[in-house]
Amino acid sequence: MARDADVPQQIQTDAKIVVKGITSVFHLKKTRTTPAGEFIALNDINLEVRKGEFLVLVGPSGCGKSTLLDILAGLAHPTSGGVYIDGKKVTGPALDRGIVLQGYALFPWRTVRQNVEFGLEIKKVPKQERAAISDNFIHLVGLDGFADRFPHELSGGMKQRVAIARALAYDPEVLLMDEPFAAVDAQTRESLQDELLRIWEATGKTILFVTHSIEEAVFLGDRVAVLTPNPGTLREIVKIDLPRPRHNSDTRSSAEFGWIRRKIWELLQNAPSDARPHPNAVPVADAISPTAAL
């Protein structure tokens, strides 16, 4: 295990994102039912993402995929290893990365427009410009006419569109998405996936998308990184050769789609037998949030 001091501050690379030897260990406190110990959430993860690529991380709960995303966002720090964006080491959160979370995380006291403008306010963009930018992104996610509504007046799918618009508005080059569509119903989910691909093609962002749905991963990604739990290990990266554009097409029902889905499913099933989750491990991993200390 490399010590943190050995991690260089800068590396030479053509890739947009480089994940280098990331290991993340949580120290578990003793509780009434479990002894004290260590939980390895991520074990030596190495990954490169090209500029403009759509990479999906897929894996069951407890495989550390959300932890990896938090590290990428700068919200958590790895025990060892480093994450590089354009060759520069990530040391904390910044506006070069946008984040979309599962629970929408909209600010309920702000209207749709005010939510979209949040990052711009932090960036200290003048009010006039803010309005023009937010109009643009509200239009992009198809919420024209809802700009002055409050989140509680929107459906789940609409809320998630606002969250996407909010993350795009301050023009980050990388979009990090942590199971963004997990809380919406199946039909909304498919249309949001179509929408996301359209937005991705329109903006050319680099997207790192975390999900536990294999179908979603195959439908969206250029490549799918398969993670297996306990300890969180990168098992394989599967290249998805399905033709683009995939939205508004029959991609989901094609034979190839089914074949790739099956392959990933097998990868997840055939994890080494000693890597089966410990009965206690899964809930524990869920309970630990690296951001809890914030």
Partner 1 sequence: MSQAGYMNNYLLRSSGVLLFLTLWETAPRLAWLDPYFVPPLSVVVAEIGLLLGTGDLPIHLLVSSWRGVTGLFLALLIALPLGVILGRWLTGLADALDPLLRVLSQVNPFALLPLFLLFFGIGETAKVAVVTWVTLWPILFYTITATRTVDPLQIKSAAALGVTRSQMLCKVILPAAVPTIFIGIRIGASLTFFILIAAEMLGAGSGLGWLVHNSAMNYLIPRIYAGATFIILLGFLLNRFLLYLEKSLFAWQEYPASWTTAGEIRPYVWRPGKGAAIAGAATLSVILILGACEVRKLNQEAMAGAGGSSGHAKHFGTPVESGSGGF
Give yes or no for residue 5 binding partner 1 (CB under 8 A).
no
Judged by CB under 8 A, the residue of 41, 83, 101, 192 near partner 1 is 101
Judged by CB under 8 A, the residue of 121, 129, 185, 256 near partner 1 is 121
252: nearest Cα among 209, 211, 226, 220: 220
Q: 11 exposed, middle or buried (CB, 10 Å; 0-12, 13-18, 19+)? A: middle
Judged by CB under 8 A, the residue of 77, 86, 142, 150 near partner 1 is 150
User: 159-198 mask for partner 1 (x: CB under 8 A)?
Assistant: ----x------x-----x----------------------
Q: How far is the CB of 74 from partner 1 (least distance, A)?
A: 7
Q: Which residues contact 269 (CB under 8 A, 6 or more apart)?
A: none
Q: How far is the CB of 122 from partner 1 (least distance, A)?
A: 5
Q: Contacts with partner 1: how many residues (CB under 8 A)?
A: 32
Per the listing, tokens 């998308």 go with 209
48: nearest Cα among 8, 80, 11, 76: 11
**8 Å CB contact between 11 and 18:** yes
CB closer to partner 1, 5 vs 293: 293
C-alpha to C-alpha distances, 93 to 74, 90, 98, nearest whole angstrom: 4, 8, 10
Give yes or no for residue 108 binding partner 1 (CB under 8 A).
yes
Give yes or no for residue 137 binding partner 1 (CB under 8 A).
no
Cα end-to-end distance, the chain, whole Å: 27
Give yes or no for residue 127 binding partner 1 (CB under 8 A).
no
Q: Which stretch binds partner 1 (CB under 8 A): 26-34, 90-98, 181-189, 230-238?
A: 90-98
Q: How far is the CB of 86 from partner 1 (least distance, A)?
A: 17
Give yes or no for residue 210 binding partner 1 (CB under 8 A).
no
Judged by CB under 8 A, the residue of 59, 62, 151, 232 near partner 1 is 151
Read out DSSP for 166-230? HHHHT--SEEEEESTTTTS-HHHHHHHHHHHHHHHHHH--EEEEEES-HHHHHHH-SEEEEEETT
Residues interacting with partner 1, by CB under 8 A?
A: 73-75, 92-95, 97-99, 101, 103-105, 107-110, 118-119, 121-122, 150-152, 163, 170, 176, 289, 291-292, 294
